């Protein structure tokens, strides 16, 4: 059997492994304390546990540091944002971002897929399609790595790195539960401090509504009409606004929780007064929040960000119209902070070590997976 991340197995399964190796079951708790409490990177770091047991476990399970090992840190930029490019055990690359806030809290942004099948026009993650989904252990290994760098557990987690969380539903939810679980079996991050962001995979939103969890839901909207949204986000052809918005409403009605709509402002494309009016028509009927962000330029997309005063005018017009809107400062621009930019830069530069690892990515760029086919395949599994 090929090795998997030690984070990919449940607490109970770890206890069974320890027992099967002839060790007392309380050793499993010691291991979890090292993994979730001390953010151990290697099996060596699980130092309270006898070497023989560690070696036996190492033969079956990747340590956190093997599941996600940092090969490049970009930053810190003026905001203190650090972007980590990490290698997974099979050589694929994903990014994870540490975003400090002025109040001292730190948000960590996790990736859930290598690349992304959604191919949003301005997003670097989807440019070369999706290579594969991460398992829950690979997702948790990013959080552990960030915690090691921070010297403490992250305050907030956002699933806003590369990938579409609802096209990797089970792994994302399993990782989110483990992030939320109290120590020693999890990182103890509050559920309301964990945000799952979707491009609008409606069956995922419906399933998420039934989980009975207090996790936050963000939906990337980016346009108030199907024509503009389909241009920016191919996912809209599969689940247009007429399906997406009612699903968000149902989510709010059944959970009592508010949806945050992400809206990236692109000059001349979705930032006009007609877009404000259309957004108000779309969103005013139910309680929600709009999070505006100015486009973070990527070389492959010809759009530009509106000027700060124009962004502010757009926000103020939404608020005047009765929709709660905030402006998110684009952090990490200096560190290739937009989704997938760092990995993309590596692939383009053909950096020696990354080139081998990412060879499948380059092939898939030549023969791209049909985004719509990817959506229908995965949605039927939801």
Catalytic positions, please? Answer: 95, 339
Burial class (CB in 10 A: 0-12, 13-18, 19+), 340: buried
Interface pick for ligand SAH out of 199, 236, 270, 378 (rule CB under 6 A): 199
Question: Which residues ranging from 351 to 370 are in contact with ligand SAH (CB under 6 A)?
Answer: none
Interface pick for ligand SAH out of 97, 123, 127, 149 (rule CB under 6 A): 123
Q: Are strands 216-220 and 156-159 parallel, antiparallel or unpaired?
A: unpaired
Count how many Cα atoms sit within 13 Å of the Cα of residue 259 in the half-sphere of its side chain: 30
Residue for token digits 């960000």?
305
Give the residue with the Cβ less far from ligand SAH, 252 or 330: 330
**Could you say whether residue 271 binds ligand SAH (CB under 6 A)?**
no
Residues facing 100 on adjacent strands: 106
Q: Where are the beta strands (DSSP E) in the chain?
A: 4-5, 61-62, 69-74, 82-87, 93-100, 106-109, 113-115, 130-133, 156-159, 194-198, 216-220, 259-265, 288-294, 324-328
Are the C-beta atoms of 67 and 58 separated by less than 8 Å? no
How many Cβ atoms from other residues are within 10 Å of residue 297's Cβ?
17
Interface pick for ligand SAH out of 339, 342, 354, 371 (rule CB under 6 A): 339
Question: Which residues ranging from 39 to 98 are in contact with ligand SAH (CB under 6 A)?
Answer: none
**Could you say whether residue 264 binds ligand SAH (CB under 6 A)?**
yes
Q: In this chain, which stretch among 16-24, 63-71, 193-201, 369-377 interacts with ligand SAH, using CB under 6 A?
A: 193-201
**Least gap, CB of 158 to ligand SAH (angstroms):** 8
**Least gap, CB of 49 to ligand SAH (angstroms):** 37
Residue for token digits 């109290």?
182
Give the residue with the Cβ less far from ligand SAH, 54 or 83: 83
Burial class (CB in 10 A: 0-12, 13-18, 19+), 65: buried
Phi, psi of 85 (to 5 degrees): -100, 120
Question: Which residues ranging from 305 to 324 are in contact with ligand SAH (CB under 6 A)?
Answer: none
**Least gap, CB of 276 to ligand SAH (angstroms):** 19
**Could you say whether residue 107 binds ligand SAH (CB under 6 A)?**
no
Give the residue with the Cβ less far from ligand SAH, 27 or 238: 238
Are the C-beta atoms of 180 and 191 separated by less than 8 Å? yes
Give the residue with the Cβ less far from ligand SAH, 6 or 120: 120
Give the residue with the Cβ less far from ligand SAH, 174 or 296: 296
Pairwise CA distance, residues 340 & 219, whole Å? 19
By CB under 6 A, how many residues form the interface with ligand SAH?
Answer: 18
**Least gap, CB of 354 to ligand SAH (angstroms):** 21
Give the residue with the Cβ less far from ligand SAH, 106 or 339: 339
Interface pick for ligand SAH out of 39, 68, 122, 314 (rule CB under 6 A): 122
Pairwise CA distance, residues 11 & 356, whole Å? 35
Give the residue with the Cβ less far from ligand SAH, 133 or 185: 133
Interface pick for ligand SAH out of 79, 133, 168, 198 (rule CB under 6 A): 198
Pairwise CA distance, residues 321 & 69, whole Å? 47
CA 89 to chain centre: 19
**Could you say whether residue 293 binds ligand SAH (CB under 6 A)?**
yes
Interface pick for ligand SAH out of 28, 57, 160, 318 (rule CB under 6 A): 160
Positions touching ligand SAH (CB under 6 A) are 118, 120, 122-123, 160, 164, 197-199, 220, 262, 264, 293, 295-296, 298, 338-339
């Amino acid at each position: 059997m090929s090795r998997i991340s030690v984070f990919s197995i449940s607490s109970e399964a770890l206890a069974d492994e320890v027992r099967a190796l002839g060790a007392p079951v309380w050793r499993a708790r010691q291991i979890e304390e090292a993994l979730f409490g001390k953010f151990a990177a290697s099996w060596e770091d699980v130092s309270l546990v006898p070497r023989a047991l560690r070696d036996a476990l190492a033969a079956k399970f990747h340590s956190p540091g093997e599941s996600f090992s940092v090969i490049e840190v970009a930053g810190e930029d003026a905001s203190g944002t650090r972007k980590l490019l990490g290698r997974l055990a099979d050589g694929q690359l994903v990014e994870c971002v540490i975003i400090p806030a002025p109040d001292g809290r730190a948000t960590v942004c996790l990736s859930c897929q290598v690349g992304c099948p959604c191919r949003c026009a301005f997003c670097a993650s989807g440019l070369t399609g999706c290579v594969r989904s991460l398992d829950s252990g690979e997702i948790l290994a990013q959080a552990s790595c960030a915690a090691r760098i921070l010297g403490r557990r992250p305050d907030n987690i956002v699933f806003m790195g590369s990938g579409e969380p609802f096209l990797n539903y089970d792994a994302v939810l399993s990782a989110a539960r483990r992030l939320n679980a109290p120590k020693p079996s999890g990182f103890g991050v509050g559920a309301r401090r964990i945000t799952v962001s979707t491009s609008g995979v409606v069956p995922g939103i419906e399933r998420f509504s039934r989980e009975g969890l207090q996790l936050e839901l963000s939906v990337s909207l980016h346009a108030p009409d199907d024509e503009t949204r389909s241009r920016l986000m191919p996912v809209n052809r599969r689940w247009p606004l007429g399906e997406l918005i009612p699903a968000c409403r149902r989510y709010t009605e059944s959970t009592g929780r508010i949806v945050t709509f992400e809206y990236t402002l692109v000059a001349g494309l979705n930032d006009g007064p007609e877009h404000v009016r259309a957004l108000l028509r779309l969103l005013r009927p139910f309680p929600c929040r709009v999070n505006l962000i100015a486009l973070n330029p990527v070389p492959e997309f010809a759009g530009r960000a509106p000027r700060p005063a124009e962004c502010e005018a757009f926000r103020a017009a939404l608020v005047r119209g009765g929709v709660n809107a905030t402006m998110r400062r684009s952090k990490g621009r200096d560190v290739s902070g937009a989704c997938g930019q760092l990995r993309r830069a590596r692939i383009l530069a053909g950096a020696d070590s990354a080139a081998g690892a990412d060879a499948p990515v380059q092939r898939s760029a030549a023969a791209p997976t049909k985004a719509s086919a990817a959506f229908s395949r995965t949605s039927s599994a939801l």
